A = this chain, B = another copy of it.
Amino acid sequence: MTGIAVIGCGRIGRMHAANVARHPRARLVAVYDVVDKLSNSVAEETGARAAASLDDVLGAPDVDALLVASLTETHAELIERGAKAGKAVLCEKPIDLDIKRVNRCAEAIKGLDVPIQIGFNRRFDPGHSAAHAAAAAGEIGDLHQVIITSRDPGMPSRDYIAHAGGLLRDMTIHDFDMARFMLMEEPVEVFAVAQAMIDPELGRELDDVDTAMIVLRTDSGRMCCINNSRASVYGYDQRVELMGTRGMLISGNRRPHELRRFDGDGTAVGLPYLNFFVERYAEAFMNELGAFIDAVEGRSPVAVGFEDGRKALLLAEAAYRSLASGRAVKLSELAGA
């Protein structure tokens, strides 16, 4: 049994705490939030202890690992402090909004022999991971194209957007990781178009975008297109398509159930897709946790490491440079980044 402390008891932290609590190989030892009320509430729900301070958590011998679900700006520090305290860390994405901070964090933990996993949960989605596995096994021959459709079901609040670091660092970051996962080669070039199409005013005020298309290219010529939107009225749209010389794979959307309606207006009418990531990626979050426990227990290497988190952020950086310049940006241009 791996003893885990969840840091950050907001919406995501609460979900992670519940997952840890019911995972057969984990024990939810402690929860912590800077807001006492939140940690107390999650502690009560799960039976874990509400830690009084971060030091309390880091010093606790029954805590083998941290699950970091606090605000983005605390991630890098928590990774550093956790690693130095000898705790394994599963940290929500992104590591930081600033690539320089990420690089300093990489320096700080260099040589520390603890598993650090970044929360790119979608790699653990049963459909997406089966697609990856099939392509990796050569079932579709040589891979040529990847199309990632990733559309959130609705605009987040202005407040959320103001602190999220921009669409490409906040939302597309998952798709950059998915692109790397599926391409099975490093992208060397990024081209992006993006605009505030859904809420132009918000775009002007917060200088953010809500709709994007991004093309990635690897050295061997593999191509990937990411389609993003903040507001898909038909539900959370999460598809991955892999096209190769011997076939195609599509990992499709899921509905709450498989009832279909047929009438004079239409046939085979399914429900809107599962609303958002908590529902759509419920299995993925549990599988992610299982993979982390495997790494903590030394059964397998870390599935999605710190460097994966850094590289996804680098792709976001490149995409932003492409947006600014209107040209494809080579990753090598960010070498100093």
Contacts and interface: CB of A to CB of B under 8 A. Distances in A.
B269 A223 contact: no
Contacts of A225: 147, 213, 215, 225, 227
Contacts of A268: 268-270
Contacts of A264: 233-234, 246-247, 272
Interface stretch (A79-87, A122-130, A157-165): A122-130
A144 interface: yes
A332 interface: no
Interface string A231-257: 111110100000101111111111111
B269 A197 contact: no
Interface string A197-241: 110000000000001110101000111010101011111010000
B270 A267 contact: yes
A249 B262 contact: yes
Q: Which of A134, A193, A328 has the most CB of B within 10 A?
A: A193
A54 interface: no
Contact of A191 (B191, B212, B227, B234): B191
A263 interface: yes
Number of copies of chain A assembled together: 4
Contacts of A248: 232, 234, 237, 261-263
Contact of A197 (B131, B144, B229): B144
A246 B268 CA distance: 14
Contacts of A137: none
Contacts of A265: 269, 272
Interface string A149-170: 1010000000000000000000
A89 to B, nearest CB: 27
Given A215-B193, A258-B127, A326-B328, A263 B223 contact: no
Contacts of A222: 197
A234 B193 contact: no
A172 to B, nearest CB: 14
A114 interface: no
Contact of A252 (B195, B247, B259): B259
A140 interface: yes
B254 A249 contact: no
B260 A250 contact: yes
A9 to B, nearest CB: 18
Interface of A: 22, 125-127, 130-131, 134, 139-140, 142, 144-145, 147, 149, 151, 189, 191, 193, 195, 197-198, 211-213, 215, 217, 221-223, 225, 227, 229, 231-235, 237, 243, 245-273, 325-328
Name the 4 nearest CB pairs between A and B, nearest first.
Answer: A247-B263, A327-B327, A127-B257, A126-B257
11 contacts: A144-B211, A193-B223, A215-B225, A229-B243, A233-B245, A234-B264, A235-B267, A246-B263, A265-B269, A267-B269, A269-B270
